[in-house]
Amino acid sequence: MTWSDNPQPLTVLIVEPHETIRSMIASTAKKLAPSVTVVQSSNGVDAREKLNYNDIQLIISEWKLPKLDGITLLQYVRSNPRTAQIPFVMTSATIDQGNVMQAIQCGVSEYIVKPFSSQILLSRLQRALSKPVRPMKAEAAEQKEQKEHITQVLVVDDVADNIKVISDILRKDYKVKAALNGKKALQICAMEPQPDLVLLDIMMPDMDGIEVCKRLKADPNTQHITVIFLSALEQTEHIVKGLELGAVDYITKPANPSIVRSRVKAHCRAIDSNRLMRAQIDTMMENAKLRDQFDTVNQQEVVNPIKEIQTASNALSTHLNDPQKAQQYLDFIQQNCQQLQSHLDNMQALQKIERNEYPYNPSSLSVHNIIDKVILGLSHIISKQQIKIANTVPDGLQVKAEQSLLFAVFTHLLQNALEASSNDKAVTVSAQSDNQFHTIEIHNSDAIAQPIRQNFLEKFVSHGKGTRSGLGTYTAKLLIEQQKGYIEYRSDEQSGTSVFVSIPMA
């Protein structure tokens, strides 16, 4: 339940170093409820103290704070059980995507970029109060800052003293490499890790900087590398030629340390922006692909059962006076309803597990009983394909797991084994135990198809099953890992396929 489900008097903590902005935020926050108490703070340390002796329902904090920054304050809030469920709205004058991603990993409710109007602020605050609070990701809890890419700079000059001067200027902020000639520079640029930026002397023997730049920009593997020329003042004609070839800037010699640092820093910001943009495009394309795949899954797993239910309902209405026929259609409707509900439950659990938000609640369970129930639910496949199935798991075997998740695991794996059985038409379920785990083996005589044998447990992997989604084994893997267990498999043409599900003992 969120605060907006049951509005009550609201206490808001505003953490902002500038008094005028604090006043504006306070004025807007007072519109959230009939009774709003505003607690104000100008720095992170004071805000943390006020959290300890005030009952706060909403935090609005600037990122850049004196003494303790906003992201550290957010991490403190999310890692403290007393404050973990408080909505946290972050404000910032920067739209740096790395900062935004870090805040999201740490469980921020809303991220608002300054300057903003009171109307925008009010809508975001209302949204923060209406949504469930997101937990801090495990990786964000373990490390305060994301690991950043270290910019690689290559300095190319035929005079070693010039290289030393520039390297000394940049070494504190960048990883610096050096080359005394154009041939060596091209070799370094072709190897991993490639330099992000090359400071390239124009006048060099054998191969000058113009030729080096020309070759870098002509090669698809190196044309992305940023080139800045090092030149004497009188080399204007060469500089223009280099810029036409694709260099982005030039620095005149002798090198002025402040100019070198500022020029390199400016172009490294552009390099970082391009890298981030490429990553965002990759993410967008991957998300688009996943959306398409999930649309297909829903078409198969949701729309098809609904159509079957509609067809069976129409048939049932015409056979109401024939109890035997009516019962067959009713059973068919119930099976499709169970299939539909199972899919929806699995998708919901899967999304929560992938976001690390699933509220896992294990208990002691009988594996034999759960497998018997799964077999009963799959009886329509078993009878239709005339498959023999044997559950030899001992009655007293108890595991520590969650019933709905474990039921889904064995439903996916047994259905997969049944549908893959074409040789002996037999599936066996057995168990063995060690000191910590009970391992359930599901065996059928058919081998996993060669094209998917290596990625059998991955997402959307399917072979020879028509419109099936390929989510079954992937879902089973995530569901069993959520229960502190694991899945392994062995498959070959001689012995068939065995899937081993290891579950913690009760």
Instruction: Please give the average per-residue pLDDT across 384-393, as a whole number.
Output: 88
* pLDDT tens track for 276-334: 776 666 666 665 655 665 566 565 567 767 887 888 888 888 888 888 888 888 888 88
Whole-number pLDDT of residue 14: 96
Give the pTM.
0.44
Specify the CATH class of 276-354 in words: mainly alpha
Give domain 3-142's CATH number out of 3.40.190.10, 3.30.450.20, 3.40.50.2300, 3.40.50.620. Answer: 3.40.50.2300
* pLDDT tens track for 195-207: 999 999 998 998 9
pLDDT value at 87 more than 50: yes
* pLDDT tens track for 325-347: 888 888 888 877 877 777 777 77
Q: What dotted CATH number matches 152-255?
A: 3.40.50.2300
- DSSP H helices, 10-144, are 19-29, 44-53, 70-79, 97-105, 118-130, 138-142
* DSSP secondary structure string for all residues of 362-415: -EEEEHHHHHHHHHHHTHHHHHHHT-EEEE---TT-EEEE-HHHHHHHHHHHHH
Indicate the DSSP class of residue 505. Answer: B
Q: How confident is the model at residue 3 (pLDDT cuts 50, 70, 90)?
A: low
Fold: same for 276-354 and 363-504: no
Q: How confident is the model at residue 379 (pLDDT cuts 50, 70, 90)?
A: confident
Q: Regarding beta strands 486-492 and 496-504, do their DSSP bridges make them parallel or antiparallel, or are they unpaired?
A: antiparallel
Name the token pair of 29: 């926050």
Q: How confident is the model at residue 158 (pLDDT cuts 50, 70, 90)?
A: very high
Domain extents for the chain?
Answer: 3-142, 152-255, 276-354, 363-504
pLDDT value at 461 more than 80: no
Whole-number pLDDT of residue 288: 62
Comparing C-alpha atoms, which of 32, 81, 76, 80 is closest to residue 58? 32
* pLDDT tens track for 406-425: 888 888 888 888 888 877 78
Name the token pair of 165: 């001067």
pLDDT value at 102 more than 70: yes
Whole-number pLDDT of residue 295: 60
Q: How confident is the model at residue 392 (pLDDT cuts 50, 70, 90)?
A: very high
Q: Where does 301-423 show beta strands of DSSP type E?
A: 363-366, 388-391, 398-401
pLDDT value at 467 more than 60: no
pLDDT value at 470 more than 80: no
Instruction: Please give the average per-residue pLDDT across 243-266, as a whole number.
Output: 90
Radius of gyration of the chain (CA): 32
Whole-number pLDDT of residue 147: 46
pLDDT value at 144 more than 80: no
What whole-number distance in Å separates Cα of residue 112 and Cα of residue 95? 9
Whole-number pLDDT of residue 471: 58
What is residue 216's three-state secondary structure? helix
What whole-number distance in Å separates Cα of residue 119 and Cα of residue 291? 32
pLDDT value at 141 more than 50: no
Whole-number pLDDT of residue 60: 96
Contact 474, 457 (CB under 8 A): yes
Whole-number pLDDT of residue 187: 94
Comparing C-alpha atoms, which of 164, 163, 205 is closest to residue 183? 205
What whole-number distance in Å separates Cα of residue 362 and Cα of residue 497? 29
Comparing C-alpha atoms, which of 12, 16, 43, 46 is closest to residue 28? 12
Please list the residues that pair with 318 across neighbouring strands.
Answer: none
Instruction: Please give the average per-residue pLDDT across 209-223, as a whole number.
Output: 91
Name the token pair of 140: 């964000």
Q: What dotted CATH number matches 363-504?
A: 3.30.565.10
Instruction: Please give the average per-residue pLDDT across 265-280, as a whole number.
Output: 79
What whole-number distance in Å separates Cα of residue 131 and Cα of residue 51? 21
